[in-house]
Amino acid sequence: MKIQPVNETVSLTRDLDTGTEAQREAVEAIIEQVRQKGDTALRELTKKFDGASLEQFRVTKEELEGAYSQISEDLLQALREAIVNIRDFHERQKRQSWMTAKEDGTILGQKITPLDSVGVYVPGGKAAYPSSIMMNVLPAQVAGVKRIVMVSPAGADGKLPASVLVTASELGVAEIYKVGGAQAVAALAYGTESIAPVDKITGPGNIYVALAKRAVFGKVDIDMIAGPSEIVVLADEKANPRYIAADLLSQAEHDEQASAVLVTNSQELADQVAGEVETQLATLPKKAIAEASIRDYGAIYVTRDLVEAIDVVNQLAPEHLEILTEEPMNLIGKIRHAGAIFVGAYSSEPVGDYFAGPNHVLPTNGTARFSSPLNVDDFTKKSSIISYSKQALQTHGHKISALARLEGLEAHARAIDIRLEDN
Amino acid sequence: MKIQPVNETVSLTRDLDTGTEAQREAVEAIIEQVRQKGDTALRELTKKFDGASLEQFRVTKEELEGAYSQISEDLLQALREAIVNIRDFHERQKRQSWMTAKEDGTILGQKITPLDSVGVYVPGGKAAYPSSIMMNVLPAQVAGVKRIVMVSPAGADGKLPASVLVTASELGVAEIYKVGGAQAVAALAYGTESIAPVDKITGPGNIYVALAKRAVFGKVDIDMIAGPSEIVVLADEKANPRYIAADLLSQAEHDEQASAVLVTNSQELADQVAGEVETQLATLPKKAIAEASIRDYGAIYVTRDLVEAIDVVNQLAPEHLEILTEEPMNLIGKIRHAGAIFVGAYSSEPVGDYFAGPNHVLPTNGTARFSSPLNVDDFTKKSSIISYSKQALQTHGHKISALARLEGLEAHARAIDIRLEDN
């Protein structure tokens, strides 16, 4: 693992993959086909891309129930406990509508309303992660979204993985369609005979799914388009290099493009971690992927002191930040940009990926400077409430007309004046 | 004004203006030019598009102070009172970070952090609205954003309107640059010698500004790209047709593309409003604009009853909704989609545009289904906090490893196991 000098250009930000011209055109064509031909298009495209011949897309009650026999009791308990933890954390994010009443009769307020409907995309095959289903569905449920739909491409056998079906079933998601790719996104945005449209689409997917989400944005809302995953570990000389190496590799195994970075004020720790990464890499099943990630996007930065190390972290604005220092909790106030902050030696990043409760859908690619983890707010919207009494308008109306005329908007001013004249 | 039948296709949604090919290419070229040549490019483009030869872009303290002599004392008082109201409303939106500690030593939390820096675009000439400055700057200030920058194109005389300078000065915004168009957006996103880059760009602008914001999105955050403005009035037979007509026209005078719609269960009111709109139109300074807006995008829908009328309103998901019925406050619980809800006969929409306190930057084009008014949250981001104790990891670690292995992520599982083995 490279030990590198720190400079001002240290960055995790890379150009987002916006696909090739051919990919973008393919996605536009698929969306158009689904808008024109609805379910017929979905059947054709599902046959073409997933190899499955489906008459009905909707997963049946029998399929959902049958999936349980393929999941061990221990795993089911772990899933259930994770669901409880994630639901509990997101319940704490929930906000109330509020109003305030002034003496002159003015009432102002903010009404929080859940979205009507949300579609969650679940990738197919090996990328069908139960944790991703929990992380997308639970904040929507806590927000109060009434209709939550899942879409996921079936295998050539026309089936979805048991872990996906069981997770959906445990969450109480009953409207699941075996459709994937850009065609699933198009169906969720515009609707077909069998799939009613939704107001927002979330969940990860391949480049075609990402391009389709981008293309339907505006017609519906979407979540952020994620870049490659990142971890930054901030550590001092007291940290355990074996833990750090294991955590860096847990990020690196995701993807050749993933970033794993150590920032430390200790040259000794830097050397030890570099050695440990080599040792632990040797026996990993996803060795080739992790090795490429560490080689191309891994780095160890040695800083003069902890103050400079914190500056580097804020410059990187990582998706995941682990703090393994002597007093880690005392440092979080200095962290200005990070999607999730894992504090101390026992808060390994996978704790948050699966189980602890906070969302694992996090801002990547430096966007932690201005973006947040997926959360309950993402599934609600606010409406302002303004109620002026006759008295309030009589007191303040002339100021409002004056401000309107300052901006050259006479009809605005007259809408106020016509009420003042009457009273 | 057309009185139309209600049907399922009633909608305010229109295709957003994404510019012509030539406009998009011009914007790309401008952004590239600013990235390459910095201030030199800004000077050239400002000369070319605004006709102003500027050595320094930054507004001086003398310019700010000198502007006060051009504003009447009454207007200044109205501006100051509006600022107090808007700040007060947004203070109520502010959220606290929170943490929760469990008995096993687990600490989970959500840290709220303001963005580091925000750039507010203020259009030039007649569209330089003081209210727009207040509505963009105040939520950022309340959020705690330390650096707030304003950009606005100067006139050919190299000056900004006094109302813009005074409003900025009253808000305490001191970093103001006389740059506009796509070049200003590029400078805010990438920085130049004299303008340091920001993390988010908000504020309205023409098609070039909108395209530039879209182009730099990802590098920085942006606010939503607004469509034409809309008002929907929901009224019953008790409502005053003169007030309704005045409010519809106040929207219509904005823009030929603006929408003004009445939804009512009273045929009599519908006829009266149609007549009043004609009468009031006759004497408006912006008659031609308002007339075109009413003709092309105005409509009156007469429904069977109030229940159907509310359905139509939710289908429209308007930016502004006025409720002029006998018991208006009782209806707001039934409104699922609206940017701002104006309740009762005295809550004319301009009350909210300038003065009451809620933000006037609102979701247009049907996006109130999933978007919110500009608010304090838009200028903060959340970071999750996860701190697991040794005890907590010992209790739950094996479940986390099991879930990781279910997803085929062995390095994730080992990052947990290596800690369990040590203890």
pLDDT average, residue stretch A91-98: 96
SS3 label, residue A176: strand
How many A-B residue pairs are in contact by the CB < 8 A criterion? 354
Of A12 and B132, the one with more pLDDT? B132
Contact A415 B78 (CB under 8 A): no
For an interface test with A, which of B255, B314, B316, B383 has the most A Cβ atoms less than 10 Å from its Cβ?
A: B383
pLDDT average, residue stretch B290-317: 96
Per-residue confidence (pLDDT) for residue A187, from 0 to 100:
98
SS3 label, residue A301: strand
Per-residue confidence (pLDDT) for residue B129, from 0 to 100:
87
- CA distances, A109 to each of A115, A382, B30, B342 (Å): 19, 10, 42, 11
Q: Are A324 and A234 in contact (CB under 8 A)?
A: yes
pLDDT average, residue stretch A87-114: 97
Residue-wise pLDDT tens digits, A131-188: 999 999 999 999 999 999 999 999 999 999 999 999 999 999 999 999 999 999 999 9
Which candidate, B278, B314, B312, B283, places its Cα nearest to that of B295? B278
CA-CA distance, A204 to A360, in Å (whole number)? 12
pLDDT average, residue stretch B63-92: 96
Our CA-based measurement puts residue B77 at a distance from the nearest CA of chain A, in whole angstroms, of 9
Give the chain A residue whose CA is nearest to the CA of B280. A411
Residues of chain B neighbouring A276 (CB-CB closer than 8 A): none
Contact A411 B354 (CB under 8 A): no
Contact A354 B403 (CB under 8 A): yes
Helix (H) or strand (E) run with residue A40 in it: helix A21-50
For an interface test with B, which of A118, A163, A346, A379 has the most B Cβ atoms less than 10 Å from its Cβ?
A: A346
pLDDT-based confidence at residue B235 (cuts at 50, 70, 90):
very high
> Which structure tokens are listed for B124?
């030039």
CB atoms closer than 10 angstroms to residue B193: 11
pLDDT average, residue stretch B269-297: 97
Per-residue confidence (pLDDT) for residue A226, from 0 to 100:
82
* Nearest CB to B284; choose among A81, A404, A410: A410
The binding site of B consists of 121, 183, 206, 229, 251, 254, 320, 353, 407, 412
Residue-wise pLDDT tens digits, B167-176: 999 999 999 9
* Nearest CB to A387; choose among B221, B329, B365: B329
Per-residue confidence (pLDDT) for residue B9, from 0 to 100:
77
Give the chain B residue whose CA is nearest to the CA of A352. B386
pLDDT average, residue stretch A2-24: 84
Which candidate, B31, B19, B36, places its Cα nearest to that of B215? B31
**What does residue B386 show for φ and ψ, rounded to 5 degrees?**
-135, 115
Please say if the pLDDT value at position B8 is more than 80: no
Give the chain B residue whose CA is nearest to the CA of A86. B108
pLDDT-based confidence at residue A265 (cuts at 50, 70, 90):
very high
Residue-wise pLDDT tens digits, A204-259: 999 999 999 989 988 899 998 788 999 999 999 999 999 999 999 999 999 999 99
CA-CA distance, A145 to A137, in Å (whole number)? 10
Whether A337 has a binding-site annotation, put simply, is no
* Nearest CB to A383; choose among B108, B284, B341: B341
Residue-wise pLDDT tens digits, B26-76: 999 999 999 999 999 999 999 999 999 999 999 999 999 999 999 999 999
* Nearest CB to B341; choose among A115, A129, A385: A385
Per-residue confidence (pLDDT) for residue A236, from 0 to 100:
97
Q: Are B384 and B109 in contact (CB under 8 A)?
A: yes
Catalytic residue ranges of B: 319-320
Our CA-based measurement puts residue B304 at a distance from the nearest CA of chain A, in whole angstroms, of 25
Our CA-based measurement puts residue A53 at a distance from the nearest CA of chain B, in whole angstroms, of 27
What is the separation of C-alpha A385 from the centre of its chain, rounded to a whole number of angstroms? 30
Per-residue confidence (pLDDT) for residue B160, from 0 to 100:
95
Interface confidence, given as ipTM, is: 0.94
Q: Which domains does chain A have, with CATH numbers?
A: 3-15+227-356 (3.40.50.1980), 21-222 (3.40.50.1980), 388-422 (no CATH)
Per-residue confidence (pLDDT) for residue A99, from 0 to 100:
97
Catalytic residue ranges of A: 319-320
Give the chain A residue whose CA is nearest to the CA of B79. A403
Per-residue confidence (pLDDT) for residue A286, from 0 to 100:
96
Q: Are B385 and B110 in contact (CB under 8 A)?
A: yes
For an interface test with B, which of A348, A378, A380, A410 has the most B Cβ atoms less than 10 Å from its Cβ?
A: A348
pLDDT average, residue stretch B90-116: 97
For an interface test with B, which of A234, A347, A384 has the most B Cβ atoms less than 10 Å from its Cβ?
A: A384
Whether A251 has a binding-site annotation, put simply, is yes
Contact A411 B290 (CB under 8 A): yes
Whether A407 has a binding-site annotation, put simply, is yes
Give the chain B residue whose CA is nearest to the CA of A378. B370
pLDDT-based confidence at residue A14 (cuts at 50, 70, 90):
confident
Contact A399 B82 (CB under 8 A): yes
Give the chain B residue whose CA is nearest to the CA of A277. B411
Per-residue confidence (pLDDT) for residue A17, from 0 to 100:
76
Residues of chain B neighbouring A78 (CB-CB closer than 8 A): 399-400, 402-403
* Nearest CB to A388; choose among B131, B346, B412: B346
pLDDT-based confidence at residue B162 (cuts at 50, 70, 90):
very high
**What does residue A369 show for φ and ψ, rounded to 5 degrees?**
-60, -30
Please say if the pLDDT value at position B151 is more than 80: yes
Contact A392 B363 (CB under 8 A): no
Per-residue confidence (pLDDT) for residue B133, from 0 to 100:
97
Residues of chain B neighbouring A406 (CB-CB closer than 8 A): 75, 130, 163
Per-residue confidence (pLDDT) for residue A190, from 0 to 100:
96
Contact B381 A400 (CB under 8 A): no
Of A126 and A134, the one with more pLDDT? A134
Per-residue confidence (pLDDT) for residue A322, from 0 to 100:
98
Per-residue confidence (pLDDT) for residue B11, from 0 to 100:
87
Q: Are A379 and A118 in contact (CB under 8 A)?
A: yes
Give the chain A residue whose CA is nearest to the CA of B95. A95
Please say if the pLDDT value at position B7 is more than 90: no
Residues 6+ apart with CB under 8 A from B125: B153, B155, B161
Please say if the pLDDT value at position A8 is more than 80: no
Q: What are the start-end ranges of the E strands in B269-326?
A: 299-302, 320-324
Please say if the pLDDT value at position B423 is more than 80: no
CB atoms closer than 10 angstroms to residue B305: 9
SS3 label, residue A403: helix
Residue-wise pLDDT tens digits, A272-325: 999 999 999 999 999 999 999 999 999 999 999 999 999 999 999 999 999 999
Our CA-based measurement puts residue A60 at a distance from the nearest CA of chain B, in whole angstroms, of 24
* Nearest CB to A93; choose among B89, B110, B249: B110
**What does residue B340 show for φ and ψ, rounded to 5 degrees?**
-140, 140
Residues of chain B neighbouring A328 (CB-CB closer than 8 A): 387
Question: Mean pLDDT across chain B, nearest whole number?
Answer: 95
**What does residue B342 show for φ and ψ, rounded to 5 degrees?**
-100, 120
* Nearest CB to B356; choose among A79, A370, A388: A388
Per-residue confidence (pLDDT) for residue A207, from 0 to 100:
92
Placement of tokens 């139309």 in the chain: B4
